[in-house]
Structure 1
Amino acid sequence: MQFYLATSFIFPRSLRFRLFALCFATTHLPLLGYIGWGVATGRFAWAEFIVLTLATMAGAAGALLGIGALLNPIHALADALHPAEEKERKRASPTLPEASDIIARLFSGVRRAATATQTQIDALNAAAHEDALTGIANRRGFLAQIDTLPVTRRRGCIAIIDIDHFKQVNDQLGHEAGDRLLADFAARLSSQTRRIDIVGRWGGEEFAIFYQDAIEDEASWSLARIAERMRQEPVGAVHGQPVTFSAGLCAWRGGPVTDAIDMADDALYHAKRSGRDRIQRAARPSASAYG
């Protein structure tokens, strides 16, 4: 762009003539060299000079036609895709020359393409980290949010939660009812946790909560409160009984979060084996790797 503006004094109202002038100057360097050699040696031949001049002019014209042919599709595409923007740009862009300026159109098209590409990347990134059914983080998004926290904030409690007898919900009420129950349950978890806590769908009917900077008693009380509300205001029922959940809970004092998740998952398994609708703490907290 700096070179473009620096050469604007050459045919400022016509980009094509400016390109021709630049092509003519660069392709005629051999001709200038020949003239200098002829003057220095006294062996100047007019016939050779005329032939060489015509050849270089033809070369410059061919280069200009080639450049124009390459840029014309971009010119036409910009007009077809964004006619309103092109008209507005022509009125509001005093630093770039007039409407026929191909470089201005090219610059505008590249900028729009870059913006559209970034928008698509952002959308794909959001989709990769968000559960489409519930609107909360999926497993990847849950772990990614934890990874973005400072090391000093990566401690608290990890809970892995499983909806009890969810297969019966699908079998008796249908998969659409099951999907609604999952979405309602995710909303219940999100509304009953703090802003600093991270809630995600771990997979299937399993969910995960990271209670940031919380001790086991605080996290256990929060889960118990959610469980009680599930009984009093159920998000679904099977055979007239409210749908409940079981949870495994593990204190995380730093180190790899996957260790705490595995221990919470083991505690969930014991909660299921012990009769469901209960909260089971891990036998020991996840050890700290930071002392």
Structure 2
Amino acid sequence: MQFYLATSFIFPRSLRFRLFALCFVTTHLPLLGYIGWGAATGRIAWAEFIILTLATMAGAAGALLGIGALLNPIHALADALHQSDEPGRNRAAPTLPEVGDIISKLFAGVRRAATATREQIDELNIAAHEDPLTGIANRRGFLAQLDALPLSRRRGCIAIIDIDHFKQVNDQLGHDEGDRLLGDFAARLSSQTRRVDVIGRWGGEEFAIFYQDAIEDEASWSLARIADRMRQEPIGTLGGQPVTFSAGLCAWRGGPVTEAISRADEALYRAKRSGRDQIQRAERPASQAYG
């Protein structure tokens, strides 16, 4: 753009003529250099001079023809854009648009294409990281949000949650009711956690929560509060009883998150084997049990 503005004094209203002038001058630089050297030394070989002159003229002519051919589509594009911008305008005898108008039209087209591409990328990114049924993050999105956290914020508790007897919900009440229940449960989790916490659908009827900067007691209290509300204000019933959930909880202190998730998952299965509708904490490794 700086070069474009710097050359505006050359045919300021014609991009084509400006390019032609620059091409003509630059292709003749070798010839002008040879003439200058010959004049300074007095040793001009006329045969070489004629050959160099003819070669320079042929190169300039080829370059000018090439530039003209390359500019024809730009001319047509600018003309079409003018017609679309001013419907009804008589374009029977088109003229070369002003340079600024061509550049602005081209830049506008590039911006539109870039915006459309960026929007498509954003849509694909959302589709890849968002669960379409519940509107919260899917497993990939949940892990991506944890990966995006700075190291100082990768501290807290991981909870893996499973809706109790969900298969019976689908079998007895139907898949539509099961889908509704999943959506309502995701909304319940979102409304009962903090903004800094990360919520995701882990898969099927399982969900995950990262309680940022929370100790196990705080995370356990939050889950217990959600469980109590599930009993008092059920999002669904099965056999006349409120639909409940089981959860496994594990502290995460910045190490590999997969290890904390695995330990929370083990705690979840202990909760389900112990009768469901309860929260279990991950067992501490032997090295920390007596620390």
Same fold (TM over 0.5): yes
Rate the CA distance shift 1:80–1:6 in 2: closer, same or farther, 3 A: same
Q: Which residue of 2 aligns with 1:2?
A: 2
TM-score (norm 2): 0.79
Structure 1 regions of 5+ residues with no counterpart? 88-96
**CA distances 1:162-197 after superposition (whole Å, capped 9, x unpaired):** 111222222333333222211111000010112221
Q: Which residue of 2 aligns with 1:253?
A: 253
Rate the CA distance shift 1:75–1:202 in 2: closer, same or farther, 3 A: farther
Shift of 1:12: 0.9
Checking the alignment, whether the CA contact within 8 Å between 2:12 and 2:99 is kept in structure 1 is no
Q: Which residue of 2 aligns with 1:146?
A: 146
CA distance in 2, matches of 1:242, 1:25: 86
The residue type equivalent to 2:145 in the other structure is Q
The residue type equivalent to 1:138 in the other structure is N
TM-score (norm 1): 0.79
Q: Which residue of 1 aligns with 2:93?
A: none
Matched, 1:242 2:234: no
Checking the alignment, whether the CA contact within 8 Å between 1:79 and 1:86 is kept in structure 2 is no
SS in structure 2 opposite 1:158? strand
CA distance in 2, matches of 1:238, 1:10: 82
**CA distances 1:28-57 after superposition (whole Å, capped 9, x unpaired):** 234435655776346647xx85x9767645
Aligned length: 277
Checking the alignment, whether the CA contact within 8 Å between 2:35 and 2:44 is kept in structure 1 is no
What are the residue-to-residue correspondences of 1:107-146 with 2, within 5 Å? Answer: 107-146=107-146
What are the residue-to-residue correspondences of 1:147-186 with 2, within 5 Å? Answer: 147-186=147-186
Matched, 1:218 2:206: no
CA distance in 2, matches of 1:82, 1:177: 56
Which deviates more, 36-45 or 216-225? Answer: 36-45
SS in structure 2 opposite 1:122? helix
**CA distances 1:117-140 after superposition (whole Å, capped 9, x unpaired):** 333333333333222221112222
Rate the CA distance shift 1:13–1:209 in 2: closer, same or farther, 3 A: same
CA distance in 2, matches of 1:215, 1:108: 53
CA distance in 1, matches of 2:262, 2:138: 17
Identity %: 82
Q: Which residue of 1 aligns with 2:263?
A: 263
Shift of 1:264: 0.6
Which deviates more, 171-180 or 77-86? Answer: 77-86
Q: Which residue of 2 aligns with 1:63?
A: 63
SS in structure 2 opposite 1:10? coil
Rate the CA distance shift 1:29–1:214 in 2: closer, same or farther, 3 A: closer
Checking the alignment, whether the CA contact within 8 Å between 1:259 and 1:286 is kept in structure 2 is no
SS in structure 2 opposite 1:196? coil
Structure 2 regions of 5+ residues with no counterpart? 88-96
CA distance in 2, matches of 1:36, 1:78: 42
CA distance in 2, matches of 1:214, 1:83: 62
CA distance in 1, matches of 2:10, 2:282: 78
CA distance in 1, matches of 2:86, 2:45: 55
Q: Which residue of 1 aligns with 2:190?
A: 190
SS in structure 2 opposite 1:258? helix
Checking the alignment, whether the CA contact within 8 Å between 2:162 and 2:207 is kept in structure 1 is yes
CA distance in 2, matches of 1:286, 1:132: 41
SS in structure 2 opposite 1:23? helix
Rate the CA distance shift 1:62–1:249 in 2: closer, same or farther, 3 A: same
**CA distances 1:186-211 after superposition (whole Å, capped 9, x unpaired):** 00001011222111111111101111
CA distance in 2, matches of 1:116, 1:263: 43
User: What is the root-mean-square deviation of aligned Cα atoms in Å?
Assistant: 3.4
Checking the alignment, whether the CA contact within 8 Å between 1:253 and 1:287 is kept in structure 2 is no
Shift of 1:285: 7.0
Which deviates more, 53-62 or 226-235? Answer: 53-62
SS in structure 1 opposite 2:235? coil
Rate the CA distance shift 1:147–1:239 in 2: closer, same or farther, 3 A: same
The residue type equivalent to 1:140 in the other structure is R
CA distance in 2, matches of 1:83, 1:180: 52
Q: Which residue of 1 aligns with 2:202?
A: 202
SS in structure 1 opposite 2:214? coil
CA distance in 2, matches of 1:286, 1:196: 31
The residue type equivalent to 1:259 in the other structure is E
